[in-house]
Chains A and B, each alone.
Chain A
Amino acid sequence: AQTVTQSQPEMSVQEAETVTLSCTYDTSENNYYLFWYKQPPSRQMILVIRQEAYKQQNATENRFSVNFQKAAKSFSLKISDSQLGDTAMYFCAFEPLHNNDMRFGAGTRLTVKP
């Protein structure tokens, strides 16, 4: 069974600074997908960024980038130039290649301070 671990229940960052959220996972599979989802307060969860395990290049989406270390089974999310609107719960998720069953971590509550 795949498990996803987010070891930081809460984090905070000053506006305009950079923050990194950590995620590790456990799997015996070689190919899979990894995601970061964001859930703003009282709003729906939305996709932030995704990474295919077979791609060595780290995914980036504007201010969001990942550091994917396949051997270490680590998938951290870096948010640059943090904005107040980045305040949210962030969930790391794993999806095996052979089906669509995603597994999530416990989440990290990020607060961006003005």
Chain B
Amino acid sequence: EAGVTQFPSHSVIEKGQTVTLRCDPISGHDNLYWYRRVMGKEIKFLLHFVKESKQDESGMPNNRFLAERTGGTYSTLKVQPAELEDSGVYFCASSLRGRGTEAFFGQGTRLTVV
């Protein structure tokens, strides 16, 4: 069974440009999460989808970030326009419905804004 996959693995863009990150969760997982880790700091929650609905987007830093999950399958996270402080590793994770279930993570997308 395929795990959580993220594309691209690395992205280097200039300040002001747009970048779209993609996450393909494990098939059948209703829950999909986006997290971000800035170098040396904690992994911060960005948002949580249950199927196609945004359950909690309290971690989204500002309106330059837009996440979608079309049809409750894959998800995209768009940053427009990118700023220097957006650099970091963006993780996606998915899990089955239910409490305390294991979350499966992708390898992350390393975003560098220059």
Contact = CB atoms under 8 A, between A and B. Distances in A.
Interface string B52-78: 000110000000000000000000000
Contacts of A107: 42-43
A97 interface: yes
Interface residues of B, number: 27
A52 B99 CA distance: 10
The secondary structure that dominates the B interface is strand
A47 interface: yes
B35 A104 contact: yes
Interface in B70-109: 91, 93, 95, 99-107
A87 to B, nearest CB: 17
The secondary structure that dominates the A interface is loop
A105 B107 contact: no
A106 B104 CA distance: 18
A100 B93 CA distance: 11
Interface of B: 3-4, 31, 33, 35, 40-45, 48, 50, 55-56, 91, 93, 95, 99-107
14 contacts: A9-B40, A37-B105, A44-B3, A44-B105, A44-B106, A91-B43, A99-B56, A100-B33, A100-B99, A101-B55, A104-B42, A104-B44, A105-B42, A106-B41
Top 4 A-B pairs, shortest CB-CB distance: A33-B100, A104-B43, A106-B42, A45-B105
